[in-house]
Amino acid sequence: MGFLDTLKEVMTNKPVNLREPKFIKEFNENNNQLKDLEELLKVAPEDTKKEIEKDRKLLSYGLLGEKNVAYELKNSHMPILILHDLYLKYNDLIAQIDFVVIAQRFILVIECKNMVGDIEITSSGDFIRYFKTTNGKAYKKEGMYSPIVQNERHVELIRDILKNEGYFKNTDFGLVQHAVTVANPKAVINSKYAKKELKNHIIKHEQLINKMKQLQEANKDGHWFTEETMYNLADSLMKYNETYTIDYKKKYDISVVSNDEDNETNMEKEEIISLEEKIEDADKNNIQESECLEESKIYKELKEYRLKKSREEKVKPYFLYNNQELEAIIEVKPKTIDELKSIKGFGNVKCEKYGVDIIEIVKINL
């Protein structure tokens, strides 16, 4: 970023090119873990299905809550960067974080809870959930692990990462704030006896935009990030992000997930050996095809376009699309925006910004 751009940021109190919310790591409704659970339900023993269905519902509720929060962030009309579903590993510490919002004057770590029932927060900070009948009579109550404590641990990890990356001093730690969003509009939160500092961190998802505006205003005279630094902060967090998967077959001790169990277990050894040889040959062919792919005209043009746009937007090239997504474009050869959306990693935002150009590159190379 040049001197004039930085000067403009100071004078306008806004990032230069970033006008609207931008997802660096997008929310995706097509959750693979949910698909795995749904597939297991088809083949699991009857005595296991109840447990799987419980996990499926919990995951569905959680995704619905995150969808509500993602909607609020997308419609905030604030120049912010958003990272969804981070699984950070740093110094033997692990944190699974629903959302991180990077703004010019704050970083907000969001824990999304799609809570069911009435929630009471006591003066000592305990969370108690009440289950009620349709007549409003409580028939069950249970303690909950405090989402505030969980969120505070996430904040500490992010502060440590950014300090290690050279962006933070101890005096900057106040820039990283946290909030627990209650994404279920029917949930009732009774925080009458909760301490003030705790109340400030529990909000309904529809209050999220106001919360971010308050944080922006509260730090208007303090330390702030240039737009370039905002992207660098996002890039630094992504360095420590890993893919998290649950082996549901192992969890539920399901060794067979096919209705053709008898056919599979009776496969002849010669057929298995033949199959392994075919896989080995396919791997060799894939390597050769990959080498040829990198020499193709469409590959070079898509890569050049990615580099050009990334320089214009001052972002890393893989923020537009990574090499795996690039190869998927070549394989699918999308002719419409809808076909481009069918490729994993291409949501509404990417397709709106780059879709027409990508389709045009594909078209001239058919």
SS3 (DSSP) at 254: coil
For residue 54, pLDDT beyond 60? yes
| Whether the Cβ atoms of residue 119 and residue 189 lie closer than 8 Å to each other | yes
> Is 0.75 surpassed by the pTM of this model?
no
Give the pLDDT score at 275: 45
Question: How distant is the alpha carbon of residue 244 from its chain centre?
Answer: 11
Query: What Å distances lie between residue 204 and 66, 147, 188, 256, CA to CA?
Result: 12, 14, 10, 42
CA 37-347-53 angle, to 5 degrees, is: 15
Give the pLDDT score at 257: 40
Give the pLDDT score at 82: 96
Q: Same domain, yes or no, for 216 and 115?
A: yes
Give the pLDDT score at 13: 54
Q: Same domain, yes or no, for 39 and 101?
A: yes
Domain membership flag for residue 253: no
Helix 46-74 / helix 208-218 crossing angle, nearest 10 deg = 50
Between CA 170 and CA 160 the distance in angstroms is 9
Strands laid side by side in the 118-121 sheet = 138-144, 127-132, 118-121, 188-190
Q: Which helix (H) or strand (E) holds 326?
A: helix 323-332
Domain membership flag for residue 26: yes
Give the pLDDT score at 204: 86
Q: Same domain, yes or no, for 202 and 333?
A: no
Between CA 223 and CA 201 the distance in angstroms is 22
For residue 295, pLDDT beyond 70? no
For residue 276, pLDDT beyond 60? no
Q: Using 50, 70 and 90 to split pLDDT, how confident is the model at 309? A: confident
Q: Same domain, yes or no, for 151 and 232?
A: yes
For residue 5, pLDDT beyond 60? no
Domain membership flag for residue 342: yes
- Residues 148-189 have pLDDT tens digits of 888 889 999 999 999 999 988 877 788 999 999 987 777 788
Q: Same domain, yes or no, for 208 and 349?
A: no
Q: How confident is the prediction for the chain on average, in pLDDT? A: 80
Q: Which of 223, 239, 255 is the last residue of a domain?
A: 239
Q: Same domain, yes or no, for 99 and 170?
A: yes
Q: Same domain, yes or no, for 187 and 106?
A: yes
Domain membership flag for residue 176: yes
- Residues 16-40 have pLDDT tens digits of 688 899 999 988 877 788 888 888 8
DSSP letter at 241 equals B
For residue 281, pLDDT beyond 80? no
Q: Same domain, yes or no, for 180 and 322?
A: no
- Taking the CA atoms of 312, 315, 317 and 320 in sequence, report the sign of the dihedral they define: negative
Domain membership flag for residue 317: yes
| pLDDT average, residue stretch 48-56 | 86
- Residues 329-360 have pLDDT tens digits of 888 899 999 889 888 888 888 888 899 999 99
Q: Which of 195, 222, 239 is the last residue of a domain?
A: 239
Give the pLDDT score at 210: 94
Domain membership flag for residue 260: no
For residue 304, pLDDT beyond 60? yes
Q: Using 50, 70 and 90 to split pLDDT, how confident is the model at 291? A: very low
Q: Same domain, yes or no, for 309 and 354?
A: yes
Between CA 363 and CA 28 the distance in angstroms is 28
For residue 110, pLDDT beyond 60? yes
- Residues 214-259 have pLDDT tens digits of 999 998 888 889 899 999 999 999 999 988 778 887 887 776 444 4
Q: Same domain, yes or no, for 189 and 299?
A: no
Q: Same domain, yes or no, for 221 and 308?
A: no
| Whether the Cβ atoms of residue 321 and residue 299 lie closer than 8 Å to each other | no
Q: Using 50, 70 and 90 to split pLDDT, how confident is the model at 74? A: very high
Give the pLDDT score at 9: 52
Give the pLDDT score at 282: 41
Range of the domain at 176: 3-239
CATH of the domain at 295: 1.10.150.80
Q: Same domain, yes or no, for 334 and 224?
A: no
Q: Which of 186, 219, 239 is the last residue of a domain?
A: 239
Give the pLDDT score at 179: 92
Give the pLDDT score at 185: 74
DSSP letter at 29 equals S
Counted domains in the chain = 2
- Taking the CA atoms of 249, 252, 254 and 258 in sequence, report the sign of the dihedral they define: negative
